[in-house]
């Protein structure tokens, strides 16, 4: 409760400073709207259904793209983790691909798939695939060798060793990979939709920018930030902590 009160007071302070800056006329209204204007634009957007349609479209792109990222990233990570040859050849390129900002993939996606929804899904999938693959690879590499030796001593080997020993031991890294993949995919989604012609929060943001509606721009940015924080804190952060506690990696 104390943490909640601190966060609430901090938020109220930021809102107060915002209004002070607005009434001081340091910036023109078109560049720095009041909070009342911002919240008014959000209310209008939800009332006429535009923001609801944008949210539905964005989550559709995210679910498809993130699902692809988790599946493809897991497969790549397992291959790199189990094969020394694959890791020594393709491993360094995986790190290089991970360092590329998601928005860089947008022109390539548009050239390949055109201004379609799959172009956005492609960018989202790329945004989460590489970080997922890196975490799965690290998970396999960090399996305690004593567990592997003990399992082999008891006659376990091959695929049985993989799913009985390595998979359970890798779960904490896997959950962390899912959390990071979500974060990267969410950011990639905004980049993909911002330069697309389809529905979504990113497209709505660009539309508001084109018509110099700064109240809508700030409102949509708030929605993007709130969704990112809420999903991370209420879903992935709790899931990660529960798994860490269960595996004895975090104090209860």
Does residue 42 sit within a domain?
no
Does residue 10 sit within a domain?
no
What is the average pLDDT value for the chain, to the nearest integer? 85
Does residue 15 sit within a domain?
no
Does residue 199 sit within a domain?
yes
Give the pLDDT band of residue 248 (cuts 50, 70, 90). Answer: low
Does residue 29 sit within a domain?
no
CATH number assigned to the domain comprising residue 64: 1.10.3720.10
Does residue 38 sit within a domain?
no
- Summarised one tens digit per residue, pLDDT across range 179-233 is 899 999 998 998 888 877 778 898 898 888 888 889 999 999 999 989 988 888 8
Please state the domain count of the chain: 1
- Summarised one tens digit per residue, pLDDT across range 117-167 is 889 999 999 999 999 999 999 888 887 777 777 777 776 766 777 767 777
Does residue 34 sit within a domain?
no
Per-residue H/E/C for the chain: CHHHHHHHHHHHHHHHHHHHHHHCCCCCCCCCCCHHHHHHHHHHHHHCCHHHHHHHHHHHHHHHHHHHHHHHHHHHHHHHHHCHHHHHHHHHHHHHHHCCCHHHHHHHHHHHHCCCHHHHHHHHHHHHHHHHHHHHHHHHHCCCHHHHHHHHHCCCCHHHHHHHHHHHHHHHHHHHHHHHHHHHHHHHHHHHHHCCCCCCHHHHHHHHHHCCCHHHHHHHHHHHHHHHHHHHHHHHHHHHHHHHHHCCCCCC
Does residue 6 sit within a domain?
no
Domain around 238: 47-246
């Amino acid at each position: 409760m104390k943490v909640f009160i601190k966060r609430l007071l901090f938020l109220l302070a930021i809102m107060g400073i915002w209004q002070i800056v607005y009434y001081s006329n340091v910036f023109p209204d078109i560049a720095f709207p009041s909070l009342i204007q911002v919240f008014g634009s959000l209310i209008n957007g939800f009332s006429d259904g535009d923001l609801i349609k944008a949210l539905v479209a964005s989550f559709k792109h995210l679910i498809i793209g993130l699902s692809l990222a988790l599946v493809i990233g897991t497969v790549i990570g397992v291959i790199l983790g189990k094969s020394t040859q694959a890791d020594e050849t393709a491993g360094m390129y995986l790190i290089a691909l991970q360092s590329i900002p998601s928005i860089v993939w947008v022109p390539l996606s548009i050239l390949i798939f055109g201004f379609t929804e799959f172009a956005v899904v492609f960018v989202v999938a790329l945004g989460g695939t590489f970080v997922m693959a890196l975490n799965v690879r690290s998970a396999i590499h960090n399996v305690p060798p004593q567990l592997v030796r003990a399992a082999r001593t008891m006659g376990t080997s091959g695929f049985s060793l993989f799913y009985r020993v390595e998979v359970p031991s890798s779960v904490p890294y896997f959950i962390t990979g899912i959390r990071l993949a979500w974060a990267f995919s969410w950011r990639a989604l905004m980049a993909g939709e911002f330069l697309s012609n389809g529905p979504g929060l990113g497209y709505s943001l660009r539309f508001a920018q084109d018509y110099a509606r700064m109240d809508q721009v700030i409102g949509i940015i708030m929605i993007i930030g709130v969704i990112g924080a809420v999903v991370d804190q209420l879903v992935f952060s709790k899931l990660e902590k529960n798994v860490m506690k269960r595996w004895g990696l975090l104090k209860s």
